[in-house]
Amino acid sequence: MTDKFHRAFGCYGIIGDQKTLVVIKKHGGPYINRFDLPGGSLEDGESLNHTVMREVNEETGLVVQD
């Protein structure tokens, strides 16, 4: 019997302060109507830093600055 594995590696941003936290509401997939941190999967050859910056912008419209 062969075991099947699904491996996923995601990068997520934590944006907020002592009183607030930026989250997104999922509109599809298995976590529909739940809240999550902005983030997602790496594209081929993409750095972790660029992934977080891109995903935060795509999902929230915010521009991450170094």
15-28 pLDDT per residue, tens: 999 999 999 999 98
CB-based contact 12:49 (threshold 8 Å): no
pTM of the model: 0.81
Q: What confidence score (pLDDT) does residue 26 get?
A: 93
- Judged against a pLDDT cut of 70, whether residue 1 lies above it is answered with no
1: CB partners within 8 A, 6+ apart: none
- Judged against a pLDDT cut of 70, whether residue 40 lies above it is answered with yes
CB-based contact 49:64 (threshold 8 Å): no
Mean per-residue pLDDT for 7-34?
Answer: 92
- Judged against a pLDDT cut of 80, whether residue 8 lies above it is answered with no
